[in-house]
Chain A
C-alpha cells in the first residue's frame, strides 16, 4: 500500500516538475494546471489557519500569485507542493496579524471568540451538561473546534493544521516550516495539549 502511495506521490511530483519548468518558460496554462491541482489543499490549510473561508480564498489567490512571481526562482530543492504550502502558511499568518489589527480598531464581534488581554479566550462558562458534544450538530462541533483552533498561538495552530488535519509527515512539516524535526514533534505534542484544554473548556467533557 505504502509503496503504491509513494509511486503515486512520486509521479505527482514529477508532473509538478514538468509543469513548473513549462511555467518557467512562460506557459501560463501549465501554471493553471498547477493551480487546479493544489488549490484545494492550499485553501484548506489557509482556512484552518485563518478560520474564515472568504479570507482563506483571498490568501490562496495571493499565495498563487506570489508563487507565480517567484516561480523563476524555484530550483526544485524541495517539492513544489511543499514550496507552495510554505507560502500559504506564511501568508495566512500575515493575514491573521492584519485581521487582529483590524479587529482591535473595529472592536470585538459577537460571533468571534476573541483573545483577551491575558491571551485567553473570552468564552461562555462551561456547559453543565456533559454530553452536549453528542447532542450538537456536526457542523456546530466543527465550528467550535475551529474556534478553539483560532485561539491557539500561531506556532501551535500551524503544526496542528499540518500534522493532525492535513496529515503531513514530520519530515514534510519540517520542510514546510523550515524548523528541525524534533522541534516539530515537541511543538505538535504541546499544541495538542493546549487544544485539548481549549476544547474541554468549550465542550465541557470531551
Chain B
C-alpha cells in the first residue's frame, strides 16, 4: 500500500473509527515507514493543539446587551399594543373623570349665571315702556306715593295711582289714597322723574311683570285689568250757564256709560269726574263742543282700549 493511501486513513485510525482490517493494514505500514509514523504523530499533535485551545469566557455585558436588543425589538410591538389597549385601563377612567368634571363645571356655571339668563331678554324692550308710560302721564301723584310702593311692585301699582291722584277718591283697589287738593310740586315732580329714569334699568325686572300683565289685556279680562290703570283727560269748558252745562255733561256721561260719575261744585266752577271707556272719549268730546267752548288739557296716545278718567271743568264765562 502506498504512503498516500495510508495517510488518508490516518485520521480515521486516530479516531479509532477505522475497520479492524484497515487498522491492521495501517499499523503494519507504520512499522515499516518512518515518514508515515511522523505524519501520524503530527496529526496527533495537531489534534492535541486544537483540543488545548482554551475556552473563552463571555463578557459580563453580553447577556444584558443581548436582552437590551431583544427588548428594543419588542418595544415597537408593545407600543402598538399600548395604543390599541390603552383605553381599557387608563383612557376610559380618564375620560369618565373628564366628563364628570365638565358636568360639574357646567352646573356651577349655569347656577352662577342663572338669574341673568332668566331676565336677560327682557330689559331692552321693557325699559322704553317705563319711560313711555311716564311720558303719558304729566300729572303725577305725590312723590311719597310713588317712592313708597316702588320697592315692592313698582309698575303694578303706579299707573292706576297716577291719574286719580287728585280727584278720584274711588281709585282702583291698590291705588294710593287720593290727596284732594295737593297740587304736585313741579320741582319735586321733575326730581322724581329723574330718579325714575335713573332707575329705569333696575325697574326692568318689574317692567317684565307689567308686561306680563299687559299682554292678557286683549283677553276677556281686559276691562278688569284696564280699570286698574285708567288714563286721564282733562277738559275745560267755558259755558254761560254752569248748572245747565253741568247737568248736560252729566247726561252725556250717563249716555256713554261712564262710571263713577262725581260732581263737585265750587264758586263759578263745576267739576265733573268720571271713568269713561276709551272708545267713547271722542264721542264725549264731540258732545262737549255743543255745550260750550272746550279746551283739551291732555290726550293719551292710545285711548281706544283703556278706561279713561275724565275731568271736566265747567267754567262760566261772563
What mask results when residues 96 to 122 of chain B are scored 1 for a CB within 8 Å of chain A, else 0? 000000000000000000000000000
Whether A11 sits at the interface, judged by CB under 8 Å, is: no
Which of B6-14, B27-35, B174-182, B202-210 forms part of the interface with chain A? B6-14
Q: Hey, what's the 0/1 contact readout for B36-58 against A, CB within 8 Å counting as 1?
A: 00010111011101111111111
The chain B residues found within 8 Å of chain A, CB to CB, are 7-8, 10-12, 17, 39, 41-43, 45-47, 49-59, 62-63, 65-67, 69-71, 73-74
- Binding stretch for chain B, among A42-50, A81-89, A104-112: A42-50
- Asked if B41 and A145 make an inter-chain contact with CB atoms under 8 angstroms apart, the answer reads no
Having A35-B66, A189-B10, one finds 20 other A-B pairs with CB under 8 Å, namely A28-B67, A43-B56, A60-B62, A60-B66, A64-B70, A65-B73, A146-B53, A165-B50, A165-B53, A189-B8, A192-B43, A192-B46, A195-B50, A196-B43, A196-B45, A199-B45, A199-B46, A199-B49, A206-B42, A206-B45
How many angstroms from the CA of A56 to the CA of B59 in the assembled complex?
11
A40 touches B58 (CB 8 A): yes
Q: Is the CB of A196 within 8 A of B46?
A: yes
The 9 A-B pairs with the shortest beta carbon distances in the complex, nearest first, are: A189-B11, A206-B45, A196-B46, A164-B50, A43-B58, A64-B66, A39-B58, A206-B42, A145-B49
- The CA of A47 and the CA of B42, in the complex, are separated in Å by 25
List of A residues within 8 angstroms of B74 by Cβ? 28
Verify B51–A61 contact, CB threshold 8 A. no
By DSSP majority rule, is chain B's interface helix, strand, loop, or mixed?
Answer: helix
A35 to B57, CA, bound (A): 14
Residues of A within 8 A of B (CB): 28, 31-32, 35-36, 39-40, 43-44, 47-48, 53, 56-57, 60-61, 64-65, 68-69, 138, 141-142, 145-146, 149, 160, 164-165, 185, 188-189, 192-193, 195-196, 199-200, 206
Q: Report the separation of the CA atoms of residues A29 and B79 in the bound assembly, to the nearest whole angstrom.
A: 19
Find out whether the CB atom of A57 lies under 8 angstroms from the CB atom of B62: yes
Across-interface contacts of A141 in B (CB, < 8 A): 49, 52
Check if B58 sits within 8 Å of A192, measured CB to CB.
no
A196 CA to B55 CA, complexed, in Å: 21
A-side contacts of B53, CB under 8 Å: 48, 142, 145-146, 165
18 A-B residue pairs with CB within 8 Å: A28-B71, A35-B66, A39-B58, A43-B62, A44-B56, A56-B56, A60-B62, A141-B49, A142-B54, A165-B51, A189-B11, A192-B46, A195-B46, A196-B39, A196-B42, A196-B45, A199-B46, A200-B42
CA distance A142 to B8 in the complex (A): 26
B50 and A160 contact, CB distance less than 8 A: yes
Chain B neighbourhood of A32, CB < 8 A:
63, 67
User: What's the nearest-Cβ distance from chain B to residue A83, in Å?
Assistant: 16
Q: Which residues of A contact B39 (CB under 8 A)?
A: 196
Give complex CA distance A35, B69 in Å. Answer: 12
Task: Known contacts A192-B11, A196-B46; decide if A65 and B70 are in contact (CB<8 Å).
Answer: yes
Contacts of B65 in A (CB 8 A): 61
**Contacting residues, chain B, for A149 (C-beta < 8 A):** 50
A43 to B55, CA, bound (A): 9
Chain B residues with Cβ below 8 Å from A160 are 50
- Chain B residues in 8 Å Cβ range of A57: 58-59, 62
Please, how many angstroms separate the alpha-carbon atoms of A57 and B69 in the complex? 13
- Specify the chain B residue showing the minimal Cβ separation from A170: B17
Residue in A closest to B46 when the chains form the complex, CB atoms: A196
CA of A39 to CA of B73, assembled, Å: 19
In the bound complex, residues from chain B placing their C-beta under 8 Å from that of A56 are 56
Cβ–Cβ < 8 Å partners of B71 in chain A: 28
- Tell me, in angstroms, the Cα distance from A31 to B66 when the chains sit together: 10
A193 touches B63 (CB 8 A): no
Look across to chain A and name the residue whose beta carbon is closest to the beta carbon of B68: A61
Query: Which chain A residue lies CB-closest to B49?
Result: A145
